[in-house]
Amino acid sequence: MNKTIRRASVLTLLLVLALLVRATWVQFYDGRALADDKDNRRNAIETYAEPLGNIIVAGKSITGSAQTKGSDLKYKRTYTDGPLYAAVTGYASQAYAPTQLEGVYQDLLNGTDNRLKTVMDTVTNERAEPGNVVTTVDPDVQKAAYDTLGDKKGAAVAIDPSTGRILAVVSTPSYDPSSLTAANTAGTAWGKLTKDSDKPLTNRALRQPLPPGSTFKLVVAATALEDGLYSSVDEKTDSPNPYKLPQSNSVLANENPSAPCENATIRVALEYSCNNVFAKMAVDLGEDKIRATADKFGFDDATQDVPVRAYESVYPKDMDQAQTALSGIGQFDVTATPLQMAMVSAAIANDGKLVSPHMVSQITDSGGSVLENYDDDADTKEIVSSSTAEQLQSAMQTVVEEGTGTNARISGATVGGKTGTAQHGENNSQTPYAWFTSYGKADGKEVAVAVVVEQSNAARSEVSGNGLAAPVAKAVMEAALKN
- 330-383 pLDDT, tens digit each: 999 999 999 999 999 999 999 999 999 999 999 999 999 999 999 998 999 999
Report how many domains make up the chain.
2
In the chain (483 residues long), the average pLDDT of successive 10-residue segments reads 75 81 70 55 78 97 93 92 98 96 97 86 78 98 98 97 98 98 94 96 97 97 98 97 93 92 98 98 98 98 95 97 97 97 98 98 96 94 98 98 97 97 68 94 97 78 83 98 88
Task: Please give the residue range of the domain that contains residue 436.
Answer: 209-482
Angle at 160 between CA 155 and CA 165, to 5 degrees: 85
55-57 and 132-135 as β-strands: parallel, antiparallel, unpaired? parallel
Instruction: Report if residue 55 sits inside a domain.
Output: yes
At 438 the three-state DSSP class reads strand
Looking at the fold, whether 183 and 315 belong to one and the same domain comes out as no
Looking at the fold, whether 70 and 96 belong to one and the same domain comes out as yes
Taking alpha carbons only, the member of 418, 369, 375, 372 closest to residue 397 is 418
Looking at the fold, whether 321 and 381 belong to one and the same domain comes out as yes
Looking at the fold, whether 179 and 234 belong to one and the same domain comes out as no
Q: Are 156 and 479 in contact (CB under 8 A)?
A: no
**CATH number of domain containing 47:** 3.90.1310.10
Looking at the fold, whether 248 and 114 belong to one and the same domain comes out as no
Looking at the fold, whether 190 and 244 belong to one and the same domain comes out as no
Q: What is the SS3 string spanning 228-257?
A: CCCCCCCCECCCCCCEECCCCCCEECCCCC
Looking at the fold, whether 233 and 330 belong to one and the same domain comes out as yes
Instruction: Report if residue 11 sits inside a domain.
Output: no
Residue 17 CB-density burial (10 A; 0-12 exposed, 13-18 middle, 19+ buried): exposed
Q: Are 385 and 226 in contact (CB under 8 A)?
A: yes
Q: Are 372 and 181 in contact (CB under 8 A)?
A: no
What is the Cα Rg of the chain in Å? Answer: 27
Taking alpha carbons only, the member of 80, 91, 73, 213 closest to residue 142 is 80
Looking at the fold, whether 180 and 236 belong to one and the same domain comes out as no
Looking at the fold, whether 184 and 222 belong to one and the same domain comes out as no
Looking at the fold, whether 189 and 332 belong to one and the same domain comes out as no
Residue 335 CB-density burial (10 A; 0-12 exposed, 13-18 middle, 19+ buried): buried
- The structure's pTM equals 0.90
Cα–Cα distance for residue pair 155/167, rounded to 1 Å: 14
Adjacent-strand bridge partners of 421: 434
Looking at the fold, whether 186 and 229 belong to one and the same domain comes out as no
Looking at the fold, whether 292 and 432 belong to one and the same domain comes out as yes
CA torsion angle 16 17 23 28 (round to 10): 170
Q: Which residues are catalytic?
A: 214
370-373 and 380-382 as β-strands: parallel, antiparallel, unpaired? unpaired
Q: What is the pLDDT of residue 118?
A: 79
